[in-house]
Structure 1
């Protein structure tokens, strides 16, 4: 095992994580929701309707991104396996990632740039997920079967710690924690003379994500080398033929089909929690962006610790038990979220001004971070156990398809339920059902996978 190559591969998780931690969940997502809600409020909607419209708008962006990833991910993976080249794709999607992240800067507090930044964020999310398909496909080449679980868990844990550090830097030096004074968490004005009145300290999250990625991808591109590609004749036609054969073979492999179907639902539900956790805190619990950022730190720290521990359990007991336990934890969290408001918990009234909902939601954040990180790493390991030798990128393209084939479903269901109930809280309830389906389908998955039973084309 080449330790420098393994570390370089882990640097991708470290470099890319801020797009999820700062962009999707804890800084840009809640900021976008707040700006959108204020925009719709000033245009004549009631506060409740404006909140619902803002959450539905955010769900639309994730729905469209999920559809693109679902349809194109497997095709790109099959083509990359046929040509034997992955690094050019990773580099190309990295360029799109950086440009799209930078565009988040253009969302002004008055709502100017609302749709533009939603499109830009969604495009960057697509690029990040496509790059992830190709880097995940390198996992089987990093070590033996017994080492893959630990490498996957350690890499994901390393990435979450990158999210923690990036969030700390944003809070201490840029983000306007004190809205009235326009100062950061440590009481200073945003660095580099950024104007707090136009929320430049918050909007700089986009350029910050872009620069972070550029800097920390350097070890990846320096140390992760691939062997000389064996190019298969036939180009895109041969790749699509191989892809059709792979998809057909899925239906003949009960364990693989069950795992892809299971992960299709539980990962969709998990991504919805990531995408709407901060928005929920903003719209339901009336949290400030500072409280949401602290919530992010709690979740990211827990993710860093729990993902590493999950990797150790994965290496010893296999990925399936880790996935099962994590799904149960996430189902419990969703049930609590749906049953809680600022005034009550499962219908039981709380004392006026009670901070119990805040404490509970911080604990939920820790659980989402820990269980979400561990299930992500264990799922990668389980996919390796089902990957056909010589076609890892295609396999992770199918993995991306399973994760995104219904990626529109959770955001769409949340959007529909939110508009129907006019409640961002009740709008999250369909996520519980998605976790239940994923858990049931997981029972048909062979803990050891079925890759050894599949012939290599």
Structure 2
């Protein structure tokens, strides 16, 4: 009973942070910057890139610190509160550049919180049910999309897109509380002494990098993760902009599109968890990345709203499955005594995946004479990252599945 409460409380954090992701990164902030404030897509791209690159290099260090002290929750709570604070402040400012600065800080807190949330997965679940527990968290995350859109939309309809920012911060806090209250740190077997300090942590990270051959497939997976997340992060950042400018979706139509797609994402995340436990997480992840390639092609050739709406369920299923399989695969192959550090590198490979957004911004800017066609070309450019990631992922050994 206690384990079920912990898993549910842990998954509630996925629900909570998705409220931030859907309302800020995907929907209202992107349109507030590019439509309400008249900013170019490249401004949003570069801001996100700077924020996530800074986070990416900090995560392995902080992850190693958390290993040394066997602590996850203080970092999770602290970074989440940073995100909540600056998300709320976004609702009070009136200039483009201040908005971009506050967003960069809020996003950094959000991204850092996720890595400590991910670290808790192998501590609250067993080797044989990583996929199902991960799938539960992802499914709750997509329920968070429903809840976040439904709760925040009335504020945006009445006060405009910026009016969505403060309610998003408040709901993020409220739905995070079960995780803060009921999930506890557990002793991590193999953690080193606390006395070594920062120099010892630097040595620990250096040893992990120099001894990468001891961890079969780990660094290949991180490189593949870096590549395919370039495509996925870009999709989530600019889907509302693409829908608004290319497909002529109104905010209400975008809202319905996200609700429609999210139902399939929630179902896909649960089903993919069971599939991963049945056929293996690597095979599941490879199939998912293949579906992403098909999705990008379909988006680029969609010339009416009806076709774009049909793509929604496919993109939802692939998105949910990607998070489930990626997190479960890493939980399988990460050494127990280095989980925090390895999940930090997992965050590094994911949060440094900002080549895609910068490429998108550059394509849209440089091909401006082509009009709306430039957005379709930008979508097709994401295939490069997906195909390269899939090629490297093929060389990652499939981890053995527990029979217990």
Q: Secondary structure at the match of 1:378?
A: helix
Conserved 8 A contact 1:14-1:162: yes
Aligned to 1:415: 361
**What is the CA–CA distance in structure 2 between the aligned matches of 1:374 and 1:78, rounded to whole Å?**
28
Conserved 8 A contact 2:152-2:168: no
Aligned to 1:445: 396
Aligned to 2:376: 425
Aligned to 2:88: 102
Conserved 8 A contact 1:157-1:304: yes
Residues 266 and 92 of structure 1: is their aligned pair in 2 closer, same or farther, counting only changes over 3 Å? same
Give 1:375's match in structure 2, choosing from 297, 319, 322. Answer: 322
Structure 1 unmatched runs, 5+ = 41-53, 177-189, 191-195, 342-356, 451-457
**Residue 253 (structure 1) shift:** 3.9
**What is the CA–CA distance in structure 2 between the aligned matches of 1:26 and 1:217, rounded to whole Å?**
21
Conserved 8 A contact 2:14-2:140: yes
**What is the CA–CA distance in structure 2 between the aligned matches of 1:379 and 1:294, rounded to whole Å?**
28
**Residue 366 (structure 1) shift:** 2.2
Give 1:118's match in structure 2, choosing from 91, 100, 106. Answer: 100
Deviations 1:399-419 (A, max 9, x none): 1111133x2211111122112
Q: Secondary structure at the match of 1:225?
A: coil
Residues 326 and 427 of structure 1: is their aligned pair in 2 closer, same or farther, counting only changes over 3 Å? same
Aligned to 2:255: 293
**What is the CA–CA distance in structure 1 between the aligned matches of 2:376 and 2:29, rounded to whole Å?**
20
TM-score where L is the length of structure 1:
0.82
Aligned to 1:345: none
Aligned to 1:56: 42
Aligned to 1:358: 305
Conserved 8 A contact 2:288-2:318: yes
Conserved 8 A contact 1:66-1:408: yes
Q: Does 1:385 align with 2:332?
A: yes
Deviations 1:176-221 (A, max 9, x none): 2xxxxxxxxxxxxx3xxxxx4xx2xx32221111111211121111
Q: Does 1:85 align with 2:36?
A: no
Structure 1 residues 43-442: aligned runs within 5 Å: 54-106=40-92, 112-171=94-153, 173-176=154-157, 190=158, 196=159, 199=160, 202-227=161-186, 231-251=193-213, 253-341=215-303, 357-405=304-352, 407-422=353-368, 423-442=374-393
**What is the CA–CA distance in structure 2 between the aligned matches of 1:18 and 1:340, rounded to whole Å?**
28
Conserved 8 A contact 1:82-1:238: no
Conserved 8 A contact 2:233-2:357: no
Aligned to 1:20: 21
**Residue 228 (structure 1) shift:** 5.6
**What is the CA–CA distance in structure 2 between the aligned matches of 1:251 and 1:261, rounded to whole Å?**
14
TM-score where L is the length of structure 2:
0.92
**What is the CA–CA distance in structure 2 between the aligned matches of 1:449 and 1:220, rounded to whole Å?**
30
Deviations 1:91-124 (A, max 9, x none): 21022111111123146xxxx4212112212211
Deviations 1:13-45 (A, max 9, x none): 011111111111123322322124xx36xxxxx
Residues 449 and 79 of structure 1: is their aligned pair in 2 closer, same or farther, counting only changes over 3 Å? farther
Residues 69 and 95 of structure 1: is their aligned pair in 2 closer, same or farther, counting only changes over 3 Å? same
Question: Higher helix share goes to which structure?
Answer: 2
Deviations 1:286-312 (A, max 9, x none): 221111111111222211111111111
Q: Secondary structure at the match of 2:117?
A: helix
Structure 2 unmatched runs, 5+ = 369-373
Deviations 1:419-448 (A, max 9, x none): 221223322332111000011111101110
Count of matched residue pairs: 392
Q: Please identify the structure whose Cα radius of gyration is greater.
A: 1
Conserved 8 A contact 1:83-1:235: no
Deviations 1:53-83 (A, max 9, x none): x211111122112211221111111111112
**What is the CA–CA distance in structure 1 between the aligned matches of 2:312 and 2:45, rounded to whole Å?**
20
